[in-house]
Every structure is written in structure tokens, then in C-alpha cells.
Structure 1
């Protein structure tokens, strides 16, 4: 695990992740600790919960995530001392579930909550005024999604919002909301999509031939920055990142968005070491 120091603009390796199931982990913070749900080692899934205390630099175990086969590719967010773990892949399918975890008691709330209208994994999950926004991602039927669905925590109700301008999977999953707007970065589009109406065999042959002769690129990586305005339920393209990628991580600090890492090829030979910073105040003033 690496720590980024904003003052010196430098990285330092601090400690190792405590398990080999370090891919596709759903992470979020309650302001004091970082909570890491599930994950994969590339083939198998984990239902572990690991908790990092940055003040001591130590890991501890939490209660296992309630999934028989483990969890990967979910998104997690903390709101009013509760952590909401949404979607992901578990028990042999892409999930639409909303699972609530109480950090103070290390327990899960097993009360039934309404599921997302669209199951998805590897999507952005952001929160504005008690409403969670599930953006993009993919599932078995649609490898990449444009759909945006909003979950009102207080009423336990989902509503469909204006879709993204383009479908994409592998978005930066972490909360990127500030001042009523969400900035969506990175992502990948697989060509042609399985939802195009062609048979799966035809699609596989097309991808293979196109890739071999370099006629098409089976995977297209995005570098545009999309801004969603919750007050007007509208999207705008506000800029571009320096690098095309998916699977990046992101975080908001002092009004700035940091986009870190990711990949730009499949299979990925190695991860990317790029770190980019974006000033939200500039994007919020741009139409």
C-alpha cells in the first residue's frame, strides 16, 4: 500500500495488503479508518473485511461480508456512520443488492432493502444529500452500461436518472461528488457489445479477427471527464484526462479530484502509475 503526500507531491510505500485477494476490492472510509470488502486473487473470490487504521498503520479483521462465494467489483460508500456496499459480483451472478454495515459495531444490517433496477459491477457510486448514484458498470447481459440509478436512503427507493453520454465499464468507483455534482472519470468499452444482437460466437470471431488485423480495437479506453449535475439531472463533458484507462481509483480532497493508477490494455501487462489532479472549482463553473 502506498501513501501520497500532497505537500511534497511524493509517494511512500507503507505496508502490504494483508491478503492475496487484493483485486476488485470495494473500499471506502468513514473519516477515521479505511474499510475493504471482498476482493479476488484473479480466480477466487473473498468475503473478508479488512480495516486499516492510518493513525497506527495497522490492519484488523472485521466480520465477513454476507456472501457465500465472496464478493468482487462492488462499490462502497459511507453515509452517516453506515457503510453501503452496493452491487458487485457474488454467488455466481452480478448483484443488485444493497448491504449495510455498521462500523461502530462491526455488524451487518440484514433487513431487506430494495435492489438496484440494474445489476452491475465496476461502477461509480457517489452520494449527494443522502442519495446514492450508481453510474455505469456492467453485467452479464450488458458488458457496459449507460444507466444511472439513484437510491434515496431515507425512503429506500430507487429512481432512474438521465443516462451517461456513453456506456462504460471499469469506471473509477469511489465517491467523486462535491457541491451537488459528480465527476466521472475513466472506463472501458468492449466492442462489439454482447447486447448488440449478434450471437456470442459471431462477436468472439469478430473481436479475434479485428484484433489480429488491427482493424478494430476490441477494447476502447476513455479519457474524457463527465460531469453529472444532480439538480438538473443532466450530463456535460468538461475535459479530458491525460491518459486513457479503466480500473483507476479516485478520491476527493480539498475540492480536488485525484485519479490514480488503472490499466490501458487487456490483458494488462502491468498497472499504470499515473496520478492526475483536477480542480473541481474549474469544472463547476464550466457548462
Structure 2
């Protein structure tokens, strides 16, 4: 009843006064502690790669970290890199749109093979683009039992060697069958099948042998590191079986494979990919975790792989997105790590250069839009690219439409 009398008289009991004092002290403490943590986080934000665009060598260190605070500026892995302006000119549209197609340039012709039209439809023919005439024509069929996408392709200037790849639409498994095309007669011939099927393996001709390495295993997701070679000459296999070679340090599909200065290089790529949904009668694609990397490896006389400076950002889907020009490798577009918050795929819109003399990467231009699986060529000072899957617009780097557009820009290195 004492408490009732105090309340009625408008006065506070001693116990309530003590409680009020303690509450005030607690609130003051919370304010001081919050101010301390705010100051600490603000000072560390300047060094955090998620608050400001880091240097190129910091990008790789940020891989694997998660963003938990919305609104922070993304690092250079997920953002467009500063790039000089390039003037692009629209050229003749390809006869069909293509995703994950393949291409080889021979003189002033670009042979464009296979690829998805849509996720449910794959191409089984070759289109030919004439750089000099700016025209498409000369379409012809591929063998019926040849893969339709994610194939390994290399050429000696007349013959185009096609190895393994995915047969059919959606997320079907790879096959081991391999072929060679005589571009002068348009005739196809069989080659010894790869020892096991591979999905998007790195493929190149080097020192008289057809080298095939990496890619994904039969489940389309697990990275493979095996490396095989086959002696070939004038469109014929000199051996009945593939020979095992030094495995690559890191497996996976969708990487560029280039011979430069009598060295074999593999660039970028990823580990993991979409898989067929278990039990799906049409092998419907289901999403899986992927890691895109910036790694560059070279194989030389000692038959040992060595690591070279990495790309400015992780980059994948660049198998046919490169040219070799004036002792430099130029790579056009691609796709980098998924957005750490939205988990959406992020396309690349930069043109990258790797100077083989200085061993330095630079960004030499920006494309008309971000795009992956470009098919690239070069003639008389002009850099060309065609096809692929482009972004949703300047403010949205995620993929949307598969296109057959063709572009060119002046390029002097």
C-alpha cells in the first residue's frame, strides 16, 4: 500500500528512483558502445573491398567473402572496371542466335559451329561469316552424331578439329566422339574418341599434337583436370589412341586455350556448372554452385605448368572470345562471379589485354553491352565479335537475350 500512497501524492519511491538512474546509465553506455563500434566499422570500411573498388591484386583476395550489409559498393569482381571508349559498328546479323557456340577464323572467314538457339533447341550446322564482304553464307550440316554445344575446337589453318562436348539441349551429358572438318572440301571425318567424355574442355593444337584438357566430367558439374594429346597431321590422326599428358593445376570448363610464343596457355574458366535435374526426362537444368577464376597457366619445354599473373577479374565462358595480336592476347566479354547478394550471374563488358612481353593485364575498352560466349575474329585492324548472351541493360549485368548480333571496332596495339 506504500507504493499506492506515493503514487497518489505525486512522489516517487526510492526504489523507482534507483531504477530510473540505472536505466539512464544503461542508455548512456549503449550510446557510447554504439559510437565506438560505428567509429571502428567506419575506419575499417576504407580498407574493406566492399566499400570501395580495390586494386587489381585485391580482387582475388575477396573471393569467397559474403556481403551482409545492403547498399555497400561492390568490389571490382562484381562491378564494371574503368575502360577507354571504343567506337563499335554494327555489322551483318548472324543467321541464328547462338549461346555456347564455337568459332574458328581461317583467313577472312569465321566458321561458326553448333550452340544453343534456346535452352530447348540446339544448332547442328555451321554458318560462315566473310569479314571482307560483311556477309553470312555457305551454311552446311554437322555430322548427326557430333555434339551440339560446349565442344573443344582447334585448327591448323585448313582443318578444324572438334572434340567431345554436349549432345542435345537442356543439360544433357557430354559425349566422347570427335571429328575433323576439311574447310576446303566441307567433308567431315571421324577421329579417335576422347578416353572419356568431357564438357567444354580446353582444346588447342601444339607442336603437332591436338591437346585436350580440363572441362567438366560426365555429370556436367565436377571439374576435370586430365590432359590428353593426339598426334595429327593434315586432318588425320597419326595414332589410334590419346596419350596422357601433365594434368592442369585447376580443372573446369569455359576457359580460353591459346598457343603463343610456342607455349600453351589456359586462361580463366570456372569450377562447377548447371546439372540435369534428377529424374527429369528432358534433362532440365538445375542450378549448382560455381566458382569463376582469374587464373592463367602456361606449359612450356619442361612440361610443367606454371602460373602467370591473373586477369583483372575472374572470367569464364571465353573459349572463343580471344585473338592473338602483336604479342598480346585480347579477350572480349565473358562472365564473372555471381552477385554475392542476388546470386545472379554477372556478365563482363570489358575488352582485356594480356601483354606477353611485360606479362601485364590492362583494360583496353568497353563493349556495346556486357555479353558472354562471344565468337571473336580480327582482320585488317578490325576486332569483330558475334553472338552470345547479352545483359538486361546498362544497369543490369545479368544475362537475358541470346543474340546473333555482329560488331566491329578499330583496334591498334
The TM-score bracket by the shorter chain reads 0.7 to 0.9
Gap change, CA 1:108 and 1:31, over 3 Å in 2: farther
Q: SS where residue 272 of structure 1 aligns?
A: strand
Specify the alignment match of 2:208 in structure 1: 81
Structure 1-normalised TM-score?
0.80
Gap change, CA 1:80 and 1:182, over 3 Å in 2: same
2:177 is equivalent to residue 52 of structure 1: no
Specify the alignment match of 1:90 in structure 2: 217
Gap change, CA 1:130 and 1:108, over 3 Å in 2: farther
Gap change, CA 1:258 and 1:75, over 3 Å in 2: farther
Distance 2:348 2:213 in 1: 24
Specify the alignment match of 1:171 in structure 2: 318
Gap change, CA 1:4 and 1:226, over 3 Å in 2: same
Distance 1:190 1:175 in 2: 20
**Contact kept in structure 2, 1:136 and 1:147, CA below 8 Å:** yes
TM-superposition CA deviations, 1:196-221 (whole Å, max 9, x none): xxxxxxx8xx53xxxxxxxxxx0111
Q: SS where residue 226 of structure 1 aligns?
A: strand
Q: How does 1:133-148 map to 2 (within 5 A)?
A: 133-140=265-272, 143-148=291-296
Specify the alignment match of 1:117 in structure 2: 249
**Which structure carries more relative contact order (alpha carbon 8 Å, separation 6+)?**
2
Q: Which moved more, 1:94-103 or 1:229-238?
A: 94-103
Distance 2:383 2:210 in 1: 21
> Which consecutive unaligned segments of at least 5 residues does structure 1 have?
194-202, 208-217
Distance 1:187 1:9 in 2: 24
Q: How many residues align?
A: 258
| TM superposition shift of 1:4 | 1.1
Match of 1:4 among 129, 134, 139: 129
Q: How does 1:270-285 map to 2 (within 5 A)?
A: 271-280=402-411, 282=412, 284=413
| TM superposition shift of 1:59 | 1.6
Q: SS where residue 90 of structure 1 aligns?
A: coil
Distance 2:404 2:350 in 1: 19
| TM superposition shift of 1:188 | 1.1
Structure 2-normalised TM-score?
0.57
Distance 1:24 1:108 in 2: 24
2:153 is equivalent to residue 27 of structure 1: yes
Q: How does 1:247-262 map to 2 (within 5 A)?
A: 247-253=373-379, 256-262=382-388
Specify the alignment match of 2:122 in structure 1: none
Q: Which moved more, 1:9-18 or 1:91-100?
A: 91-100
TM-superposition CA deviations, 1:89-111 (whole Å, max 9, x none): 13443122222122235136654
Specify the alignment match of 1:213 in structure 2: none
**Contact kept in structure 2, 1:74 and 1:121, CA below 8 Å:** yes
Larger-gyration structure (1/2): 2
Specify the alignment match of 1:188 in structure 2: 335
Specify the alignment match of 2:228 in structure 1: 99
2:254 is equivalent to residue 128 of structure 1: no
> Which consecutive unaligned segments of at least 5 residues does structure 2 have?
1-125, 273-288, 393-397
Distance 2:310 2:216 in 1: 22
Q: CA RMSD in A?
A: 2.6
Specify the alignment match of 1:200 in structure 2: none
Distance 2:367 2:293 in 1: 21
Higher helix share: 2
2:361 is equivalent to residue 235 of structure 1: yes
Gap change, CA 1:54 and 1:110, over 3 Å in 2: closer
TM-superposition CA deviations, 1:157-195 (whole Å, max 9, x none): 1111111111122124366223221001111124246xx
| TM superposition shift of 1:112 | 3.7
